[in-house]
Amino acid sequence: MLTPKKVFVDTITTQCDLMLPDLRMGGVQNSGPPRATRFLIPNSEYQDKGLHGLYLPTKDILVVEGSVIGYMQGHNVFGPCDVPNLVLESYKAAHITSALPLGKDEKRRIEQDEGLTLKRLDVGVNLALPSDTPISRVLVELAHKMIDAGIDTSTYGHGETVYRSQHSQSSSHKFYDKAKQLYDTRGLPLNLPNRDAILDFTKTVIRSEIVLRYPKMKVLEMTKPRDWTFAKLKAELVSAFDRLHLSGTVRAGLSELDLRDVKHMYRTTYRCWEHGDDLQVLLEPKAYKRQVAYFESIGFDITTPPPVSGEETPLGDIFTLSNAVEPPPELWGDDDDAEAVEC
């Protein structure tokens, strides 16, 4: 069952029609088009988790964009899906940080959802990754089946990211390795509560996001934040997953091709583990500890029995909303955040 705790809204772009005579922010640099002002909405608690603003004074338009859950929580691995509240929080952040001082009338309009238009909405879920199966293999198999089905497919890296209709101006769907994305970028803030546990959680899931753009929302007649209730978010997720029509399976363990990516010194260890040998007998304690850590980093727990040889999981059982997972309650940090918001 898909519940609000399993669904989150990440990137949001909102346009607000306001009358703003003066940004009054020291240090604002006009790096955009003529008469446009781009500015950062900084995050004092978590660096690199700010939002971005664009003010067009000739049109009295303000655009705020970015990961609002990332701004609020310090990460975007999971989070709330209350679109109106997230939009409100983004404009509050602009006001509180003095990036954009808002008058009483302007704040009232935003609170009442007046003059607001959504331009982009990224809706995500985390899908459970089958045990002892590299995420790269799952995503490679997904890409192959999507291409075979005639779906407009783009891929990046070796099993890192797979897109459906990436360049569509209406909507797209992407699947990717969130753990690797965090590893390749700045990761998570060092002062983030439950940081290590959240990183561990990303290693057990496949990230799925649908990107809804303004043309799509206009056709749906759902361009206002208040339009996006949980039921509407769920309907769009269901529609996106239904379009995949996946067949085929993915096999547990490492193939000969996968083994080429394993460090040479560890390949024999993997084969011994796969064969059922007692690694604690074969390896010195320090070597055993080091190799356990290495295999954990690529998604294998060699302290447990190996997967059954040839064990396969249907792709349709992986890329389905019934496989969406809810983060453990302790990862939400604040107890209030752990309560599902009525979306």
- Residue spans per domain, the chain: 4-249+314-330, 254-306
pTM above 0.85, yes or no: no
- Residue-level pLDDT at 113: 79
Going 296 to 155 to 316 to 312, the CA torsion angle's sign is negative
Quick one: angle between helices 264-275 and 285-297, nearest 10? 90
Mean pLDDT by 10 residues, the chain (343 residues): 95 83 47 71 87 84 93 95 94 76 75 88 96 83 89 87 95 95 83 92 96 97 96 97 83 65 83 84 91 80 74 88 94 56 41
Q: Which residues pair with 243 in a beta bridge?
A: none
Give CA torsion, residues 247, 250, 256, 262, to 10 deg. Answer: 130
From CA 116, how far away is CA 150, in angstroms rounded?
37
- Evaluate whether 57 touches 14 at the Cβ level (below 8 Å): no
Strand, coil or helix: what is 211? strand
CA Rg value for the chain: 23
The DSSP string of 265-311 is HHHHHHHHHHHT--HHHHS-HHHHHHHHHHHHHTT--TTSPPPPTT-
Maximum distance among all alpha carbons in the chain?
Answer: 74
